[in-house]
A = this chain, B = another copy of it.
Amino acid sequence: MKIAVLGASTTKFGELWDQSPRVLAKKAVFEAISKSGLGTRDIEAIFVGNMLSGILGGQENLGPLFADELGIFCPAFKIEGACASGGLAAHNAINSILGGQYKTVAVLGIEKMTDHKPEEVASGLMAAGADEEREAGATFVSLYALMARAHMEAYGTTEREMAAVSVKNHFHASLNERAQFNKLVSLEQVLSSPKIADPLKLMDCSPVSDGASAIVISHDRFTGKVIDPVWIVASSVATDTLALSQREDLTSLRAVRLAAENAYKAAGVSPSDVDVAEVHDCFSIAEIIACEDLGFFGRGKAAREIANGKTKLGKGRPVINPSGGLKACGHPVGATGVKQIVEIATQLRGEADERQVKKAKIGLTHNVGGSGAIAVIHILRS
């Protein structure tokens, strides 16, 4: 499998009250097309990753809507799988190219969340959850708090180590002008921030965000037009139960382990080959678990390694979340999985400026929906 990323772009993430979804979509897609060296007429299909347009915006049929707005009248689809919608849109786009149905397509991840009341957003996000969890009044932070507690009990993981994830990701975001939070935070600031669901605090949590990200991918190099494409060499998806109560273990996500195993196999690489990864740190504990499920560190070892700087730009390998991750770059739900690919493609092209991971050759994206009901992994090579 070899799919070329020809162009990649993301809007700034944040509270973008002055920009409509249509504006965000156009910015991301047209910049991605522009970078690809192709024209709009080369785009043969559009795959839109989005979760909340129906619930929050009363708008569905986003495929034709954005095709219309972009003036690109081609087949267009909305793919939804909660916070993994963006990665799943890329997965379906890749499969369609491999199937010979389309040659070159655009994948757009987009979400507009900050125009709505926080309680509407929190309730909307629980549309990805299990009935029993919703009936019990659970929110996603409370589900991840359960995982954090289990991880602390099993491996002695500390609140201080979790806080270190946020500190690192804010440092990375301080080098990324398109991140929602470009500022540094200290360990003490994270530890003293208000508790949301014990042991997770406000600064352990990714924010509510607006934003759009896009990639232009193709089944082959457009000779003479693109100097240096990046290749997607694996795209793998797996699922698990919706409800935490049905799982054997709360310290690990089976869907991630399965998808990662298949992705490494398809790409012919091992975790130690990965130079840079964007992982789904919806909460600080999620990044710790991800680093273990992806095989970057042994079970129960990731928290200490991260706290010791092993995943920080300029200090260790693999560098995790150079964009700032969901925590600091922001988490416009449907955009996240596509933004991860944008960041890795930018890194592998050596175009990440101040946050460039030196000699990055192999990168990985890890995008999760719900509390781990679905996961999608992409592996990219320069």
Contacts and interface: CB of A to CB of B under 8 A. Distances in A.
A237 B60 CA distance: 18
Q: Which of A51, A60, A240 has the most CB of B within 10 A?
A: A60
Given A64-B81, A78-B81, A96-B96, A59 B238 contact: no
Please indicate which of the listed interface residues A63, A82, A237, A369 has the most CB atoms of chain B within 10 Å of its own CB. Answer: A63
Nearest to A258: B73
Interface in A8-54: 45, 51-52, 54
A92 interface: yes
A55 B98 CA distance: 33
B99 A95 contact: yes
Interface string A56-89: 0011111111011000011111111110000010
Q: How many copies does the complex hold?
A: 2
A75 B127 contact: no
Interface in A226-249: 235, 237-243, 246
A243 B67 CA distance: 12
A79 B77 contact: yes
B77 A78 contact: no
Contacts of A335: none
A64 B99 contact: no
A137 interface: no
Nearest to A82: B61
B79 A78 contact: yes
Contact of A75 (B68, B80, B238): B238
Given A61-B374, A81-B64, A99-B97, A75 B128 contact: no
A106 to B, nearest CB: 13
B67 A239 contact: yes
A370 interface: yes
A258 B47 CA distance: 19
The 6 tightest CB contacts between A and B, nearest first, are: A98-B99, A99-B99, A75-B237, A54-B54, A64-B373, A61-B128
Interface of A: 45, 51-52, 54-55, 58-65, 67-68, 73-82, 88, 91-92, 94-101, 123, 127-129, 235, 237-243, 246, 369-370, 373-374
16 contacts: A51-B60, A52-B54, A54-B127, A59-B127, A61-B369, A61-B370, A62-B80, A64-B239, A64-B374, A68-B241, A68-B243, A73-B240, A76-B81, A78-B81, A95-B96, A96-B99
